[in-house]
Chain A
Amino acid sequence: MKYTDEYRDPAAVAALAAGLHFDRHVKLMEVCGGHTHAIYRHGLDALLPDEIELVHGPGCPVCVIPMGRVDDAISIAERPEVIFTSFGDMLRVPGGRRRSLLEAKARGADVRIVYSPLDALDVARAHPGREVVFFGVGFETTAPATAVTLLRARTLGVRNFSVFCNHVLIAPALRAILDTPDTEIDGFVGPGHVSTVIGTSPYEFVAREYGRPVVVAGFEPTDILQAVALLVRQLREGRAEVENQYGRVVRDEGNPAALAALEYVFQVRDDFEWRGLGAIPHSGYRIADELGDWDAERRFEVPGARIEDPKACRCGDVLRGMAKPYECGVFGTACTPEKPLGTCMVSSEGACAAYYAYGRHRVAV
């Protein structure tokens, strides 16, 4: 496959890995769930020298949806008139009382997986007698797709469609990580696909205010290792800048059309709760008033409860890079991908899920 295979060349991966070393221990956080998944899927963590440690951040938009919001989604899905559409990865995420959309479906809720929000809109057009709701989840990578879908719903006059908006912003989460005392993160592997939309300037504050380098990276093995190499080089040279390794897809200015869609369709909420991290100011989108008629939160009453994570859950520490999955007391025992207790285990991109599924054989615990 073009633009994929070339960036998986084993000789290049080996060469990049061989060139990685540093004179002290450094912790680099890769923010994006896609990076976490790619690292474990390809077994890349085994290729790094001991002094370069990768930790996983909060960039899994599925994982950070609070349990109360999942319960809200389930309450909408359980309405007989509703067809509830969602990306597949959200289906097994447990809300409070460990129930999920998949279980709601088993009990009779009409829950359907879609690949694109546009497909959800098509479902609404095909079923004029039903209320179709789309579970809008994802960072600024995905939010523009939801935005355009809402605009299209308005243009086409599709009234039986609405979005339950849980889109979140990456930069505030990075700031929340950096503001955590004792984080000790030396640099960031920046999220590749979010950056195609927002560009590279949203990460400038990491370099300017916190003195840490950021390298925006692609998702193939060579991309990730190249980004690590660029970070190490910055650290060696005492620089803290934002660099772009993923130039074939990320432009520094991002995608103006996508940014314009975000600007028009959404408003930034005062704060939004992230599972494991607590409330982060200005970190979530809600649908703007002009499109209020397509806002599921205005159309349907939801419980809106705030549910605490189980006491044993150390997801907050894992998301901040302060604990490894296997350092959590319930990892692999009470908390597994099949019955996840905490956010890091709920999606295949969560640090604990990825580690459990792919990498747990490597550490002698």
Chain B
Amino acid sequence: MSDVVTLAHGAGGKASRRLVEDLFLDELRNPLLEPLSDAALVSANGTRLAFTTDAYVVRPLVFPGGDIGELAVNGTVNDLAVSGAQPLALTAGFVIEEGFPLDELRALTHSAAAAAKAAGVSVAAGDTKVVERGAADGLYVTTAGIGLLDPRVDLSPARVRPGDVVIVSGAIAEHGIAVMLARGDLRLELDVVSDTAPLHREAGALCALGPQLRWMRDPTRGGLATTLNELVSGCGASVALQETAIPVREDVRAACELLGIDPLYVANEGKLVAVVAPGSAGIALEALGPEAAVIGEVRADDVPMVLCETPFGGSRIVDMLVGDPLPRIC
């Protein structure tokens, strides 16, 4: 293992996990942090709150379907939403590079404001810092958010059990591909836009399932594969996916084929994955809308892993991401 940070550490896969566990968790260790979920669950005078933060370093700052401002708000709203919390308020920190045009900064902040309004939250506090030309690559944004946990649910990988059903709210891999295209390095033309969107309504609708809803996440960096691998290491059972059931747009699939990337590893910013009790699958799909699909199930296994069953009666492992096919995607 190298003694410096590499881009692989930022991909959301194995290296990221190791950095978090071996360095950050090691130093910061405390009961709130241990579960390493998207949001920390904090109790204050009997009120249960979710508390989360995320940093946004996406390049380019503006991409088809969105920009860093919108991404930064939706991302944190979503971390709260999939933790079973109603988002209450956000804070936003802006690290801005010297020379960054003010009108662009205003436009990105406007996007953030619009996104906050759409999600029904306020950006209640913030901070700005300016760094010399050459640092911050234009702009980095960090958002933190606080939300009120829905008393009907208790979401965690530990609640997932064999027989449960895995559902995704819509087609995957669009954000990562859209951002990659916007970089122009790979000279591909494709009408794909980022799916960045707030998920508080979808998540809220699923919370109505109460204990039948076991766990939710928004599969961002590292894609669905990474999120599901985190699930299996937390629940001790395997997830078996049906390849043909995973919704991917034709052109997104073609772009992935072309680049030799599996759509399961590509970031999403407006989708959630949920595990529900088998009897609730129908209601969950209703709640999520026509794009949602059952993509697999949870199975007991001696060696928990994520498997994908091919249409040919075979299966392959969907391992944790190694390396970083698409850096700086979120």
Contacts and interface: CB of A to CB of B under 8 A. Distances in A.
B316 A358 contact: yes
A103 interface: yes
Contacts of A233: none
Contact of B317 (A8, A46, A114, A358): A358
B268 to A, nearest CB: 21
Nearest to A114: B185
A47 B254 contact: no
A360 B317 contact: yes
A105 interface: yes
Interface SS, B side: loop
Contacts of B322: 92, 337-338
Contact of A339 (B1, B254, B307, B313): B1
B316 A41 contact: yes
B310 A43 contact: yes
B312 A14 contact: yes
A362 B314 CA distance: 10
Contacts of B316: 40-43, 357-359
A44 interface: yes
A contact residues, range: 35 or more
Contacts of B325: 88
Given A8-B311, A10-B311, A115-B186, A106 B317 contact: no
Given A102-B323, A338-B14, A221 B312 contact: yes
A45 B314 CA distance: 8
Contact of B257 (A1, A13, A45, A357): A1
A43 B241 CA distance: 14
B contact residues, range: 20 to 34
- Among B1, B311, B325, chain A packs the most CB atoms within 10 A around the CB of B311
Interface in A185-235: 221
Contact of A105 (B7, B14, B309): B7
Contacts of A8: 311
Interface string B289-316: 0000000000000010101011111111
B253 interface: yes
A350 to B, nearest CB: 13
A47 B313 contact: yes
A17 B312 CA distance: 10
Contacts of A41: 310, 316
A361 interface: yes
A103 B7 CA distance: 9
Contacts of A52: none
The 8 closest A-B pairs by CB, nearest first: A43-B314, A358-B316, A106-B6, A46-B314, A10-B311, A43-B310, A13-B312, A337-B322
6 contacts: A1-B253, A8-B311, A43-B313, A46-B313, A103-B4, A105-B7
Given A43-B316, A106-B6, A337-B319, 8 more contacts: A1-B254, A42-B314, A46-B314, A88-B325, A102-B8, A103-B2, A106-B2, A337-B322
